[in-house]
Amino acid sequence: MSAEASSSHMLWGGRFQSGPDPRFWALNASLPVDQRLALHDVRGTAAWVRALANAGVLTAAEREQLLAGLARIEAEFRAGTFSFAATDEDIHTAIERRLKEMVGEPALKVHTGRSRNDQVVTAFRLWLRDATDELDDLVRDLQTALVQRAEADQDVLIPGYTHLQQAQPILLSHWWLAHFWPLHRDRQRLAQLRARLNVLPLGSGALAGTTVPVDRTALAQDLGFADITPNSWDAVSDRDFAAEFLFWAALVGVHLSRLAEGVILFSTREFGFLSLDDAFSSGSSLMPQKKNPDGFELARGKSGALIGALTGLLTTLKALPSAYDKDLQEDKAPVFRAYDDLRALLPVLADSLRTLTVHPERAAAALDPDTLATDLADYLVRKGIPFREAHHIVGQVVQRAAARGVPITQWSVEDFRAVHPAFGPDVRTALDPWAAVARRDVPGGTAPARVREQLEYARATLRGPA
Amino acid sequence: MSAEASSSHMLWGGRFQSGPDPRFWALNASLPVDQRLALHDVRGTAAWVRALANAGVLTAAEREQLLAGLARIEAEFRAGTFSFAATDEDIHTAIERRLKEMVGEPALKVHTGRSRNDQVVTAFRLWLRDATDELDDLVRDLQTALVQRAEADQDVLIPGYTHLQQAQPILLSHWWLAHFWPLHRDRQRLAQLRARLNVLPLGSGALAGTTVPVDRTALAQDLGFADITPNSWDAVSDRDFAAEFLFWAALVGVHLSRLAEGVILFSTREFGFLSLDDAFSSGSSLMPQKKNPDGFELARGKSGALIGALTGLLTTLKALPSAYDKDLQEDKAPVFRAYDDLRALLPVLADSLRTLTVHPERAAAALDPDTLATDLADYLVRKGIPFREAHHIVGQVVQRAAARGVPITQWSVEDFRAVHPAFGPDVRTALDPWAAVARRDVPGGTAPARVREQLEYARATLRGPA
Amino acid sequence: MSAEASSSHMLWGGRFQSGPDPRFWALNASLPVDQRLALHDVRGTAAWVRALANAGVLTAAEREQLLAGLARIEAEFRAGTFSFAATDEDIHTAIERRLKEMVGEPALKVHTGRSRNDQVVTAFRLWLRDATDELDDLVRDLQTALVQRAEADQDVLIPGYTHLQQAQPILLSHWWLAHFWPLHRDRQRLAQLRARLNVLPLGSGALAGTTVPVDRTALAQDLGFADITPNSWDAVSDRDFAAEFLFWAALVGVHLSRLAEGVILFSTREFGFLSLDDAFSSGSSLMPQKKNPDGFELARGKSGALIGALTGLLTTLKALPSAYDKDLQEDKAPVFRAYDDLRALLPVLADSLRTLTVHPERAAAALDPDTLATDLADYLVRKGIPFREAHHIVGQVVQRAAARGVPITQWSVEDFRAVHPAFGPDVRTALDPWAAVARRDVPGGTAPARVREQLEYARATLRGPA
Amino acid sequence: MSAEASSSHMLWGGRFQSGPDPRFWALNASLPVDQRLALHDVRGTAAWVRALANAGVLTAAEREQLLAGLARIEAEFRAGTFSFAATDEDIHTAIERRLKEMVGEPALKVHTGRSRNDQVVTAFRLWLRDATDELDDLVRDLQTALVQRAEADQDVLIPGYTHLQQAQPILLSHWWLAHFWPLHRDRQRLAQLRARLNVLPLGSGALAGTTVPVDRTALAQDLGFADITPNSWDAVSDRDFAAEFLFWAALVGVHLSRLAEGVILFSTREFGFLSLDDAFSSGSSLMPQKKNPDGFELARGKSGALIGALTGLLTTLKALPSAYDKDLQEDKAPVFRAYDDLRALLPVLADSLRTLTVHPERAAAALDPDTLATDLADYLVRKGIPFREAHHIVGQVVQRAAARGVPITQWSVEDFRAVHPAFGPDVRTALDPWAAVARRDVPGGTAPARVREQLEYARATLRGPA
């Protein structure tokens, strides 16, 4: 491409004696990434046109010409007919170039008092505001699926795990809800970062503020921003909102990875508590019998990419010296990728949950009688034995059960009394998993009534904002 | 150490036939790290004792014995006289061991209905709550130092930078404030994460809830928590608060690194706008003339460690399958390190700022006349030339000035008119840096009145909570 | 897309009762990413066809049909005429689908004894082998540019920096070469990882080895691999080569960021030692005078993305349980991105260096006389004063010079003697920067003769393999 | 502490008018971290003393005094009697301070021609060289344990997994060896990075080379370095060796996490193939029955910290401008932590493997007959059916088996023929897992003879260097 033809060179070429080297140009151009901001840049530019007109920089006629041009550009983008030039450096120069083609000289005035520094970050904030709203809906839909599962699976007992060893029996519903609350916190965090995101930087110029007397507060209202940035340097250099979004996405990724790990485990042949629907499974090119939980594995795997995206942006931001450094061009790609990953994952996970099959009988059969050991110790505590001693006694019971090969649920009272005289005929009450579950009768516990209470609370959080 | 003597083995050894391998024991023990939780575990344990008594598990006499014992243990920690045993696995077993030495049998009841899983995370939350409060004060003090500098340096003009090239003149005050607002957002984030942190997990047992009918809401009040966790599995597995804190610290680190980079640059011989006080500089073992900005370099360098701490914890959390996995033992070290780093850095940076010397004359001398090029373009816009065309004309002015070796501030009106006839005798009004600064007269701009307005707003945010 | 029409469903649909959900399909499909492996998969498949024929699984006629089909597919890819079907799950199924369209039934035999697990990783290794060779050339070209600069700039003195404070004078050539050697180590690392990469996994089946008696050693030779993998499970699960490549890229990124930081600083108005050519600079949409070092800023900024890519893959790999987990699908995107970034950056940096202008007079003028303080201390050491004492005396000289406002190069002998009597008339020999440079006359030192020696060594490393 | 008393102030205080602020001092001091370099700094300093004497800077008498002093200091460190002063800034100033106390004036000459910049990095390289040798031994010991397991478990069949779903039967030995080879690559990488580490930076001065005519090659030989650094700036700024070590450690961490994940899974009640020895397990403070695989969980969890340490250092190194920036002080803590983590983990894992119990009968019982589906397809291929068609037929067999609830190993020949007429009476040969294993008879395959071959190869690699 010749330098003369470049739309950016049009923008800033006055002081340059030669045009850009083509490889430098290719490196420098951000269009392949930032064209996703097209509609948001059109919207931001239209608001700027109105502000310039209000400030007396544009006539009413110019304003109307420009707004009509921008409307046509928007229509071109929506119809997929907008045609990029090889010389477009980024989406912003592409739109300004097209506007000039459409309306002529007034387009040369559009950039008055504006810099790409405040223009780009305004479009990015507008885009991300929409993205967060969309993701909030998707997270809520996954939460809804978890609530639906929790409602459906209240009669299913599974082993609860610590260290991946069976620990105590719990309701499957309780486990589904354990994955609901992290997402609830995620929605809180999203709402809070959205508020910090929803602040207008436009009017900050390149770094020092604009010389055009635009009404920034009116501009913010025009674009739906709740506030304006208080310092022009900070306004163009701040990418906290992007970092905060990427942390949000990374933590959602971690939460999804933990849910996924559970589902992957529970749907192995060895655990066997769940089966995924065929529509959310895939097979093997070699092994005819395979049915694999690819969606959940991708959720787990993509948590790595999400964490990497966060690390990458934070590292890029480290020690940047200026109000705007070109390094900031690296801000959008990780944000777009994180958004794409979550937008692809969340609905698949939600519907995978909705369509899976639970195998209550296999879960019940899997439950190790030893998971009632804590209840046996509690039984001894009720007989007046200090807990630490009770714990020790039951440890010996368990060890003896293993040695004899007879599970404690099949022990006679005498068997127990041979270990310690405090055991009485009522010991069998301690050995019923449903009774054990019912005994965890505190707020947040796995007792059925408590899980119903928890479900009610969970449903309530879905009705309002986070 | 013999297995018999181990206080943990005391805790869980009933079912074990042999004691732990010493190297396994050393790997497993977390005492070197978690002993920092000592006072917070004592506090949590005392509250648990009161809750057990209220639930009828302990008599009033036992309660008093235990609380007296815990008070003595606290006193030992405060006096530095608490003596650890080689067999203490972690701070929690150490305290239970010591309590037993002090009060005997009642100590064996303290763990009734409690698991280390809910105990540890309760102590960790209590510790981190205090840490966040302390860090909030330190961040606010650094903000105060920035405000003080901004007040002091209102008459100092410096070049503003983009791409580390001089862009437009700004007030040094404006630059200091550009570093105030990121910290303001940090304080907002900290307040919000503190609220998510300030929720009681105790009473969740190992994973399924406790069988002891404790009043968790009363327990929360006792410990100053604002709410209780709604799901026992989530309560013991959730480390969102630690991840959120580490993200907070990493982003603070990025903000400090950017401030530091600026100060390091501005105090080079080449920029020369600032000099650090001797008390906050160090020298060289070899080069007698050196005076180095080590504090700011460490701020910049430690941003790496802070980002690494965040990455590490998120990676550790990825795909954990259980309510509690031992992997979670890795949660505290990075949090402690991040806290230590910030607690060491923040006051040094604040006082470094307060004590540095500004060199207004060197800053003024450094200002490139070309930084007025935007104002020259704005001048042409006021003469009716569209901005894009004005930009191109001024680009040619700048190029010609470089070729002639005569800065534009020394050009005659004829020189300007030789480039374009729109220039008139009033062109010199566009070439005064103070006038240029004054023209950025929008909210957030660098005009002196706007900076005073901004200072007022900044001071106001320091008076209340973030 | 209907499930029936899916080429993957063709591959593995036998046991499935329903087709995939479209959103699950979209999430699962890797074609948008892995289509870059097209030519390498064709090559790997052709070798597999030959191996199957040698093992008696295919007839000679079938072999020829298939090889001809694959050759036509390769031609389609090269011509850009290969047409993907909406049902292609990945590049491998696309190629198998197309092969069947072309040659019919023999295509159904191509996957005999092969799994996508060993197929994919074979194609990935082939691709990355080519990529490393290309990047090695590009790194070498950047090294060549550094050597060219070092040759050209042997007569240029600049201040050397520690803590970004002037420390001692050095040759600019020495500084360019300081950025040569990290890249030399990078080339060594690349050669070593290439050797680990250049090992054939094909023939490992899904995880347990293939049942077809293929000659894996012959297969390795066919594909240019130096060795075969020793364990089939490890062969399909190993992504060390990708992680090692990403670490390599991240460290190259760090090296480029350090070079870039130096060039950015040295081309500021304040330092002023260098000017970039217009062809490798860009301007500002708002500020007509700006000329920005965007290429170097992007080098610095992209080091973040490269570190993030590494972090992401390592995190994805953490704790994967199986021989192949779908998480591994996330292996290629970060590798492709790292390759793209470096391939774009390296030539731009090399030619930016070749075309920049050095300003020796500005560098000389910038040199602080205090950078000779170490030489002054060495002078005193030669007079018999212990170094530590000499250091202290010179510290006082420097302090007094600052107080008097007279640089030490302008001091009289009496001025020096007023600080310490050991100074004599020959003190001025210690105050010449070229003499100072010449005194660093050890291997690796900045003395001109040593730099010439170093240049010779550097050139020699470029002639052979790393 | 008063500034006068500070040993660093002694080092560099000549030009300073006031002493350091105590909080600045605390931040700046690296002694708590770098005191681990004590013996290596003594060694490096002794070599420097010999080099200075050879260069004529020290007399023979001074040399002997200094070497005797250093020997006494070394003895103090080894005996734990070395006493630090509150004013010691780092281990290097502490040693120089102590040396002066011991030998007086000659100690003031020790720093002649040396800077802390080259001194510190020399000691760090010496330390890390020892650390890598120690870790190489520990990795080899873990490999030995894997080989021992592989030898012992050759008669044990387990399901092989992809997507954590049973895929094909394999030998347990094969699985152990799958974890051997990644460690083999790790040892190769370690040997290669050790070679890059084993290069002498001393003699590079602060950044420009030393003015003392020391023989750097002789100095390298004295300290056992294989080469000398070729550029003094690079010599003091290069931390590639630390980054490379941290990548090495992170990748080892990933490998350990994958082994750990497998062992954790296989020792669940649900899988049940393995039991850990009591000496390498721990229990629960609440649940008496628990026996947890803490060592393996910590291996998995610490992979996060190892990845974080790498990320942190790379981020710290990004864009450092000078030959030495204080940021580099952050290089040692992550290296020490990574070393400590691996040194604690590796022996525990090795002995955990050696002492665990395998349950062959449970593994055999767990094997799903459907894992023979690939062999059934291969059987059809041998009957002349193209693989892709055979795969589809067997998919239907598997689906029908699930529907009927009769595993394919219990099907009659007629049952098979009802699906496809190509099945014959010999179909049962395809349904024996041991035969299936034996059929994977290619290099790297799981056939017993191949595993024996692999074992032989593995053992051979342990005998020599990596």
- For B396-412, b where at least 16 C-beta lie within 10 A, e where not — what string? ebbbbbeeeeeebeebe
Rounded mean pLDDT of B76-105? 95
Instruction: Choose among C299, C319, C311: nearest CA to D247.
Output: C311
pLDDT in tens, A296-312: 999 999 999 999 999 99
pLDDT in tens, B368-405: 999 999 999 999 999 999 999 999 999 999 999 999 99
What does the alpha-carbon distance between residue A264 and residue A270 come to, in Å, rounded to a whole number? 11
Tokens of A91: 């989406």
Instruction: Tell if the CB–CB gap between C196 and D188 is shorter than 8 Å.
Output: yes
pLDDT exceeds 80 at position C156: yes
pLDDT at B410: 93
pLDDT at B19: 85
CB < 8 Å to C334, chain A: 305, 308
What is the residue-averaged pLDDT of chain A? Answer: 95
Strands C274-275 and C357-358: antiparallel
Q: What is the pTM of this model?
A: 0.97
CA distance A328 to A239: 8
Chain D partners (3+ C-beta pairs within 8 A) = A, B, C
Which range, of A74-88, C330-344, D8-22, D286-300, averages the lowest pLDDT? D8-22
pLDDT above 70 for D360: yes
Confidence of residue B5 (pLDDT cuts 50, 70, 90): very low
* Contact present, A44 and A126 (Cβ < 8 Å): yes
Q: What pLDDT is recorded for position D285?
A: 82
The pLDDT score that the predictor gives to residue A9 is 55
Whole-number mean pLDDT of chain C?
95
Question: For C162-206, what is each residue's pLDDT tens digit?
Answer: 999 999 999 999 999 999 999 999 999 999 999 999 999 999 999
pLDDT at residue B225 greater than cutoff 80: yes
Query: How close, in Å, is residue D67 to chain B by CA atoms?
Result: 21
List the single range of A199-213, B13-27, C108-122, D83-97 with lowest mean pLDDT. B13-27
Nearby residues of D160 by Cβ (< 8 Å), 6 or more positions away: C207, C208, C233, C323, D166, D167, D168, D169, D170, D174, D175, D371, D446
Contacts of C91 in chain A (CB under 8 A): none
The D residues from 185 to 214 touching C (CB cutoff 8 Å) are 185, 188-189, 192, 196, 203-211, 213-214
Least Cα distance to B181 among B464, B462, B463, B465 occurs for B462
Three-state DSSP at C356 gives coil
Q: Which of B18-27, B35-44, B68-77, D43-52 shows the lowest mean pLDDT across its residues?
A: B18-27
- Chain A residues closer than 8 Å to C11 by CB: 283, 285
Closest alpha carbon to C235 in C214, C222, C212, C216: C216
Contact D164/A264, CB-based, under 8 Å? yes
Asked if A190 contacts A139 with a C-beta cutoff of 8 angstroms, the reply is yes
Answer whether residue B12 shows pLDDT above 80: no
* Nearest CB to B444 within list A167, A204, A394: A204
ipTM over 0.85: yes
pLDDT of C186 reads 98
Q: Does D304 touch chain B (CB under 8 A)?
A: yes
| Distance in Å from the first CA to the final CA of chain C | 51
Q: Which of C7, C15, C462 to mutate to test the interface with D (most CBs of D within 10 A)?
A: C15
In this structure, are residues D151 and D455 in contact, taking their beta carbons and an 8 Å threshold? Answer: yes
Nearest CB to C289; choose among A11, A15, A347: A15
Counting Cβ atoms within 10 Å, is residue D417 exposed (0-12), middle (13-18) or buried (19+)? middle
Chain D residue closest in CA terms to B90:
D285
- What confidence category does residue D9 fall into, taking pLDDT thresholds of 50, 70 and 90? low
Pair C439, C375: CB distance under 8 Å: yes
Q: Chain A residues with CB inside 8 Å of B389's CB?
A: 108
CB-CB under 8 Å, B270 with C397: no
Strand partners, B357: B275
- Is pLDDT at A434 greater than 50 in this prediction? yes
Residues in CB range of D437: below 8 A, 6 or more apart: C208, D157, D169, D170, D171, D446, D447, D448
Fill in the amino acid letter for D183: L
pLDDT of residue A10: 59
Question: Taking CB atoms and an 8 Å limit, are A301 and C325 in contact across chains?
Answer: yes
Distance, in Å, from the CA atom of D414 to the CA atom of D426, rounded to the nearest integer, reads 12
pLDDT (tens digit per residue) in B332-374:
999 999 999 999 999 999 999 999 999 999 999 999 999 999 9
Q: What is the share, in percent, of chain A residues with pLDDT greater than 70?
A: 97
Per annotation, catalytic residue among D18, D83, D163, D285: D163
Catalytic residue status for C163: yes
Cβ under 8 Å to D: A residues 238-277? 264-265, 268-271
Please state, in angstroms and as integers, the Cα–Cα distance from residue D266 to each residue in A164, A402, C234, C346, D38, following that order.
10, 19, 18, 48, 44
Question: pLDDT band for position D3 (50/70/90)?
Answer: very low
* D173-183 pLDDT per residue, tens: 999 999 999 99
| pLDDT confidence of residue A270 | 98
Position C11 scores a pLDDT of 66
% of chain D beyond a pLDDT of 70: 97
Interface contacts B/C by beta carbons within 8 Å: 123
- DSSP class of residue B170 equals E
Nearest Cα residue to C372 out of C418, C299, C292, C430: C430
Residue B286 is predicted with a pLDDT of 82
pLDDT of residue B435: 96
- Output the CA torsion sign for C311, C312, C317, C320: positive
Could you give the CA distance from residue A141 to residue A147 in angstroms, rounded to a whole number? 10
With CB atoms and an 8 Å threshold, state whether C373 touches B319: no
Q: How far apart are CA C310 and CA C130, in angstroms?
A: 20
The alpha carbon of residue B372 is apart from the nearest alpha carbon of chain C, in Å, by 9
pLDDT-derived band at A5 (thresholds 50, 70, 90) equals very low
8 Å CB contact between A209 and B262:
no
Question: What is the pLDDT confidence band of residue A15, given thresholds at 50, 70 and 90?
Answer: confident
Average pLDDT, stretch B26-53?
96
Q: What is the pLDDT of residues D388-435, one digit of tens each?
A: 999 999 999 999 999 999 999 999 999 999 999 999 999 998 999 999
Residues in CB range of B297: below 8 A, 6 or more apart: B260, B264, C163, D325, D326, D327
**Between residues C464 and B314, which one has the greater pLDDT?**
B314
Chain A contacts of D373, Cβ < 8 Å? 287-289
Cα–Cα distance list, C189 to A148, A237, C247, D135, D201 (Å): 53, 36, 10, 20, 20
Predicted confidence (pLDDT) per residue in D231-286, tens digit: 999 999 999 999 999 999 999 999 999 999 999 999 999 999 999 999 999 988 88
Residues C398-402 have a mean pLDDT of 92
Place of tokens 């280390």: B116
